[in-house]
Amino acid sequence: MIATFAAVSLIAACSGNGNGGAEGGDAAGYPEQNITVVVPFSAGGPTDTVTRMIADPMAKALGGKIVVQNVEGAGGTVAAGQVAQARPDGYTVLMHHIGMSTAPALYKDLGYQPLEDFATVGLVTEVPMTVVARKDFPPTTLADLTTYVKANSAKVTLANAGIGAASHLCGLLFQAAAGVKLQEVPYQGTGPALTDLVGGQVDFMCDQTTNTTGQISAGKVKAYAVTTPERVKSLPDVPTTAEAGMPQLAVSVWHGLYVPTGTPPEIVQKLSGALKTALADQAVIDQMAKLGTAPVAAADATPEAHRAHLEEQLTTWAKVISDAGVKAS
């Protein structure tokens, strides 16, 4: 099982996982047409990056073609709602992250239920987050950042990718740890948010290393901390939040693949097998390592492990979110 973290575990699979049903397509010849993998955030952001890393090797393993489609909006819930309604034939797949487990506690009228409306295919990766700011933002350390934002709470802006996005959750944890409420600026994904951070239009945000590593290494943004217990190899000079005095800010972002409930189990197994093959591909492993992450173990790239993790995370986040008193609508 993927590692979990003490303060807030961001990963956690599949009895009765909804993988059965008579509605689905023909498993024997699958795939006979292009498979669309829906990404619930902007192109060029962290979820998109991870999806595009595995799309080609998965397609090759399946003997078909995968098209990546970005469906943005409402912290990833627009895309999840669309895929929940899609034909359960294996040709519409959702890549989603921790947001799958947080949305039910955040949104009153979500329109889908993660455990009922989706069959899990397998976990993909778990990505550390970074606390980053525009290059010329005055604070130089995480402790300075805390002091600064408390003193300037009326004017500091905190970017995120909408309610329930990983950046939103990490931002909530930061604000809770710092004891401050800031003005949040929502984007359709942290791809465009990071562009604005580099451009100086927003002050700071939490974002995944799969999006921030290049800009941190190039000195285009300031990095205060990584949110994992250990430093990230590709960012050796960036301290952990614990080292920087904020151990409560412990979070990383798990990703998984989903299909609508009713998709034939044989198709789910084919997708899971292709996922495992992609995650064992040396080029994928190398690309992920450069961006501070790694594929999950083969045992976690399964419907069962994914479902168990989702169940655990739904429970964990329901409590965190209820304690924080946050609602989207």
**Residue of the chain from 190, 213, 228, 313 that contacts ligand MLT (CB under 6 A):** 190
Give me the least distance between CB of 271 and ligand MLT, in Å please. Answer: 21
From the list 44-52, 132-140, 177-185, 311-319, the region that binds ligand MLT by CB under 6 A is: 44-52
Report in angstroms how near the CB of residue 256 gets to ligand MLT at its nearest: 13
Two tokens, residue 19: 């993988």
d(CA 48, CA 95): 9
**Matching residue, tokens 């090797």:** 57
* Contact between 46 and ligand MLT per CB under 6 A: yes
- Residue 97 within binding range of ligand MLT, rule CB under 6 A: yes
Length of the chain in residues, anyone?
329
Closer CB to ligand MLT, residue 19 or residue 125?
125
Residue 238, exposed/middle/buried by CB under 10 A (0-12, 13-18, 19+)? buried
Nearer to ligand MLT, 192 or 264 (CB): 192
Closest listed residue to residue 82, CA positions, set 124, 107, 112, 45: 112
204 and 184 in contact (C-beta within 8 Å)? no
**Which residues, 119 to 178, sit near ligand MLT by CB under 6 A?**
161, 165-167
Instruction: Measure the CA–CA gap between 277 and 306, rounded to whole angstroms.
Output: 17
Q: How far is the CB of 189 from ligand MLT (least distance, A)?
A: 3
Q: Is 252 in the site for ligand MLT (CB under 6 A)?
A: no
45 part of the interface to ligand MLT, by CB under 6 A? yes
What phi and psi, each to the nearest 5 degrees, are found at residue 173?
-65, -40
Which one of 187-195, 232-240, 265-273, 301-309 is the stretch in contact with ligand MLT (CB under 6 A)? 187-195
Distance CA 246, CA 179 (A): 12
Among the listed residues 90, 189, 256, 295, the single contact to ligand MLT using CB under 6 A: 189
Least distance CB 175 / ligand MLT (angstroms): 15
Regarding 47 and contact with ligand MLT (CB under 6 A), the answer is: yes
Q: What's the one-letter identity of residue 7? A: A
* End-to-end alpha carbon distance in the chain: 34
Residues that bind ligand MLT (CB under 6 A): 41-42, 45-48, 97, 99, 161, 165-167, 189-191
